[in-house]
Amino acid sequence: MKIDVLPVFGKQTDYQLQDTTVIVVDVLRATTSIITALNGGAIKVVPTVDAGDAVALASRLGMRECVLGGERGGVKISGFELGNSPEEYLSRAVRGKTVIVSTSNGTGALHSVRSAENVLIGAMINRTSAAKAAAAESKDILIVCAGTDGQPSADDLCTAGAIIDAVRVYADPRPGELSDMALLCETLYNNWKAGSFDLSCTFHYSRLCAMGFDEDVRFCFTPDTTDTVPVYKDGVIVKYR
């Protein structure tokens, strides 16, 4: 089983997406919020790249059936009911609803792998369950990180490493089956876990804290608080199992 990590979405080839289990990670905060929305009772989550597309879809499906959520630059999109703080998605607002989300990078990352057969949603909060689900597919694994504005983001790379660390519990990749990027992510995660790498000085993490989203960051970086593993298929995200 080969394991690779794409530090920023958009550079994968269709060939890489074939016969592979893809895990999309945008730990701060899109994939964490999507997982939390399903835990909060949303029927499904529909990601859109464009905020206008989200509004158009909500009008087509019926505003009463939907909740619009998302951000640009970390700030709630004007006219949307929810921003991108995971805990907002535990509210009654999402229960029984279709949640339509549009975020700066995370929904773009999802869109970029829409042709893949097998796409799971990963984050720190479900890292072990996502790893277990991916290992059960017995295919190569490609972790696609959202990054921030086209640049790798250490928070995503650390989370990719956390998932790879957990994959080792359920599968036994042979030496040479982890790409150099996968090994670097795993090392980053182990250093973070040991307290020798401080994520709080990295760009997106520190920007969110400076905006007052410390509680979101804490929520997003608490490992294994849920076993929900969403799957993205035909443009829609639902619980995998």
Q: Which of 12, 20, 48, 104 binds ligand MLT (CB under 6 A)?
A: 104
Q: Which of 26, 88, 140, 165 binds ligand MLT (CB under 6 A)?
A: 26
Q: Which lies closer to ligand MLT via its Cβ, residue 178 or residue 217?
A: 217
| Residue 102, CA distances (Å) to 40, 47, 186, 191 in order | 18, 6, 29, 32
Q: In what order do the strands lie in the sheet with 75-76?
A: 3-6, 140-145, 20-25, 118-122, 230-233, 236-239, 44-47, 98-102, 66-72, 75-76
Cα 231 to Cα 11, 190, 236: the distances in Å are 21, 27, 8
Shortest distance (Å) from residue 170 CB to ligand MLT: 28
Angle at 153 between CA 2 and CA 143, to 5 degrees: 20
Give the interface segment with ligand MLT, choosing from 5-13, 26-34, 121-129, 225-233 (CB under 6 A).
26-34
Q: Is 230 in the site for ligand MLT (CB under 6 A)?
A: no
Nearest approach in angstroms of CB 148 to ligand MLT is 6
User: Which two tokens mark 141?
Assistant: 């694994």
Residues in contact with ligand MLT, counted by CB under 6 A, come to a total of 13
Residue ranges in 160-179 that form contacts with ligand MLT under rule CB under 6 A: none
Residue 44 Cβ vs ligand MLT, minimum distance, rounded to whole Å? 19
> Residues in the site for ligand MLT, rule: CB under 6 A?
26, 28-30, 71, 74, 84, 103-106, 146, 208
